[in-house]
Structure 1
Amino acid sequence: MNIKVVRGNPTPEELAAALAVVRVRAAAAASTPSGAEGPRDAWSDPSRIAAARVPSPGPASWTRTFWPS
């Protein structure tokens, strides 16, 4: 695996931290079976919007459009 720093000048400590994160993520991805999905993130779950009640009309209803109550 080759990693290239495109912009900036990281310190050795910053580079080591970034590489540690990349290695851990790569190891986790390699240990997951190829057909299985990881845990679904609640933010990307479309049912969170559908489960929220529809905002009632009013002057401030635009502030509650897609945010669950």
Structure 2
Amino acid sequence: MDMPVDEPLFRIVRGTPTAEEVAALVGAILARSRPAAPPPPAPTSAWARSGRPAGTGHLPGPGAWRASGLPS
């Protein structure tokens, strides 16, 4: 259901706020109306890490293919 365009979203019913106070109110309303940030990704489990090759320290270059087959 869409809100009518001619009606304000909020109304100040008491007091005479300054322009800065109204701006702070609008900022607070906008901050609360935004969706929350997505949660950080879950850390990789030890089981999943076990299937990945460990950093063996082999660097590309001459003889790297031979070193890749040697026990570490």
Q: Normalising TM by the smaller chain, what interval?
A: 0.3 to 0.5
Report the TM-score when normalising by structure 2: 0.37
Report the TM-score when normalising by structure 1: 0.38
Structure possessing the higher relative contact order (Cα contacts under 8 Å, 6 or more residues apart): 1
Q: Which has the larger radius of gyration?
A: 2
Higher helix share: 1
